[in-house]
């Protein structure tokens, strides 16, 4: 009987069940057991073994199978935060409204020095230095950089159309307001406006970006 028990121990069924710990120190895997008086029946898939219950010290539940490690969940990459690029917005708006990119960049440089949060002493706002009332007429939020640029370039395009493509007139009107240009039928004799127009023209001719302006637009 002991030999048979050891033989079954080495055969070791792989099915779930329990372990019988024998008095001689052996450990036998069985499906289940039944105690009948002084005997015990140890069942496996082929039948059962009957032996004196005194030969079995105790029974232990079979350890549950260890689950294979699960792969770590894939880390979902967050969408990149869009980078606000003033020059890129200037180019996009220039293309949208049919204006030279260099002109729009030079106006933006003269107005705000490409500073999105620029605010003039007279209240002009953002990259294209829109006055609140002008932004309202254009249906734009001047504090939103994209809307500010789009509206400012659209306004510049409208001024060029108004003055039949005369660049100096359009730039002067952007700086001092159309009323001043209409009054003098040319660039108004304001030092600030004259310097503003000349600075942008020089920058365009040199193919360089203007330095930030000290202008205080009157839209």
The residues assigned a catalytic role are 111
Is the Cα torsion angle 196, 197, 199, 200 positive or negative in sign?
Answer: positive
Find, among 197, 195, 193, 201, the residue nearest to 218 by Cα: 193
Contacts of 109 (CB under 8 A, 6+ apart): 203, 209, 210, 211, 212, 213
Q: Find the helix packing angle between 145-162 and 167-176, rounded to 10°.
A: 130
**If DSSP codes are grouped into helix, strand and coil, which group holds residue 147?**
helix
| Sheet with 18-22, side-by-side order of all strands | 27-30, 18-22, 56-61
- Burial zone of 1 (CB within 10 Å; 0-12 exposed, 13-18 middle, 19+ buried): exposed
């Amino acid at each position: 009987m002991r030999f048979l028990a050891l033989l079954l121990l080495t055969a070791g069924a792989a099915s779930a069940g329990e372990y019988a710990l024998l008095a001689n120190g052996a450990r036998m895997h069985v499906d289940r057991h039944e105690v009948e008086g002084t005997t015990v029946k140890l069942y496996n898939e082929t039948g059962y073994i009957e032996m004196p219950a005194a030969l079995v010290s105790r029974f232990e539940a079979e350890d549950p199978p260890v689950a294979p490690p699960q792969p770590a969940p894939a880390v979902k990459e967050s969408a990149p935060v869009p980078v606000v690029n003033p020059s890129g917005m200037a180019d996009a708006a220039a293309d949208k409204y049919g204006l030279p990119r260099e002109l729009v960049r030079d106006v933006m440089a003269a107005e705000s020095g490409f500073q999105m949060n620029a605010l003039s002493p007279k209240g002009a706002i953002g990259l294209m230095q829109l006055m609140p009332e002008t932004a309202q007429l254009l249906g734009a939020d001047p504090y939103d950089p994209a809307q500010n640029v789009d509206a400012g370039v659209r306004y510049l395009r409208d001024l060029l159309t108004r003055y039949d493509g005369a660049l100096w007139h359009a730039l002067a009107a952007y700086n001092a307001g159309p009323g001043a240009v209409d009054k003098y039928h040319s660039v108004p004799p304001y030092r600030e406006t004259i310097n503003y127009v000349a600075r942008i023209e020089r920058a365009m001719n040199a193919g360089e970006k203007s330095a930030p302006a000290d202008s205080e637009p009157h839209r």
